[in-house]
Amino acid sequence: MEDESERPIGSFEGSPPIGILRRPLRCIVKLGGAAVTCKHEVEKINEEDLGRVSSHLRQAMMGCGPVTEVLGMDWSRGAGAAGIDSISDFNEYAIPNLESLIIVHGAGSFGHFQASKSGVHKGGLHVPIVKAGFVATRISVTSLSLAIVRALAREGIPAVGMPPFACGWSTTERNVASADIYQITQTLNAGLVPVLHGDAVLDNQQGCTILSGDVIIRHLTQQLRPEYVVFLTDVLGVYDRPPANPKAVLLREIAVEDDGRWSVVSPLIQQATGEGVEITVAAHDTTGGMGTKISEAAAIARLGIDVFITKAGTDHSLRALRGELLGASVDDWLGTAIRPAQRPLR
């Protein structure tokens, strides 16, 4: 019998095979829903911000600037698509060697309204309003995911949508119980970029729940061990109080101990522990908001993996995506680095 203490972090009874990656996973990116949607307008995408983020992801993956030739992979008839006439352009086109990457995006102004109004996150799939809300939530979040996949494809990124519900993710008491990691490793080995998202899933105890993108990232990190993780948000990082507060201070670096305790390394503020940091969550957010982000990022750092939280579409986010901050000082960078304690910087 397997010793419980020897089981890999994040594994669970009956877990399917993970598969072997042909090359190390460079990065897992969490694209915050608020960074690419208009959070005060239900189901509205911020096309400009989404386009900028997609361009930065291409530059980070391909090691090239914004002027490099790009052949889009969205051959649909929809707005922004390259169109089927572009297919012939690929005859003599060599797709650049890409960094291995997984993208997980949040829902933003998609899905949260439907989930909170129907109580999907609380379970009770046998209740008519919950069942209807489950369906409505999935319609909403998958429509956003399609828009994001198309935006990435227009930048020449071979992105493929992998909705957790459809890919066999489920929970028990809102903790991950099953996840088809093998399908993700095979997708990466094929040179494709998996795109997952927060989703409504089945729960073995309460019938259904909302599986947040942050929890998905933590599970993927435990199983696949990327070099680093980047959270792209609509603010520069984690603050000691709500960012709208004029007295809010950006926490530049947080150190996480082996036992999970974390403290602010920079700047030196009076509230130097997690208990002193004020966290707020929007009334419609069913996934925990920034509080969940910090706890999940700290859990990732405990694995020995650096986490960077910064504003999407900025030079700071591009540097983080490129891995320039890995093991380096963050003095000239705006964002929050969450790292294992006692790690020396180069």
Please say if the pLDDT value at position 305 is more than 90: yes
Residues 6+ apart with CB under 8 A from 192: 158, 159, 160
pLDDT at 194 over 60: yes
pLDDT in tens, 1-21: 333 333 333 444 545 578 899
pTM passes above 0.75 = yes
User: Is pLDDT at 92 greater than 80 in this prediction?
Assistant: no
Q: Estimate to the nearest angstrom the gap between the alpha carbon of 167 and the chain centroid.
A: 17
The answer on pLDDT for 309 being more than 80 is yes
Q: What pLDDT shows up at residue 98? A: 77
Q: Which residues contact 99 (CB under 8 A, 6 or more apart)?
A: 26, 27, 60, 61, 62, 63
Cβ atoms within 10 Å of 189's Cβ, excluding its own: 14
Q: Is 213 annotated as contributing to ligand binding?
A: yes
**Nearest by Cα to 18 from 225, 223, 305:** 223
| d(C-alpha 10, C-alpha 226), whole Å | 14
The radius of gyration of the chain's CA atoms, rounded to the nearest angstrom, is 20
Residue for token pair 């915050």 = 32
What domains does the chain contain, in order, with CATH numbers? 27-61+96-234+306-329 (3.40.1160.10)
Give the tokens for residue 269.
């503020």
CA atoms within a 13 Å half-sphere pointing along the CA-CB vector of 116: 15
* The token pair that represents 128 in the structure block: 């008519």
The pair phi, psi for residue 27, each rounded to 5°, is -155, 150
pLDDT tens digit string along 232-286? 999 998 888 888 888 888 989 998 888 878 888 888 765 444 445 544 434 344 4
Q: Which amino acid is at 230?
A: V
Position 183 scores a pLDDT of 94
Please give the pLDDT value at position 239: 87
Residue 260, pLDDT score:
78
pLDDT band per the 50, 70, 90 thresholds, residue 287: very low
Q: What is the mean pLDDT of residues 66-83?
A: 73
Q: What percent of the chain has pLDDT over 70?
A: 82
Known binder of ligand: residue 234? yes
Quick: pLDDT tens for 160-190.
Answer: 999 999 999 999 987 899 999 999 999 999 9
39 annotated as belonging to a binding site for a ligand: no
Q: Is 105 annotated as a binding residue?
A: no
289 is annotated as contributing to ligand binding: yes
- C-alpha 266/C-alpha 334 separation (Å) is 12
- Average pLDDT value over all residues in the chain: 84
Give the integer Cα–Cα distance in Å for 76 and 193. Answer: 19
> How much of the chain is in helix, strand and coil states, percent to nearest 5?
35, 20, 50
Rounded Cα distance, 333 and 158, in Å? 30
Distance CA 136, CA 140 (A): 6
In the sheet that holds 175-178, the strands lie side by side as 175-178, 170-172, 199-203, 207-211
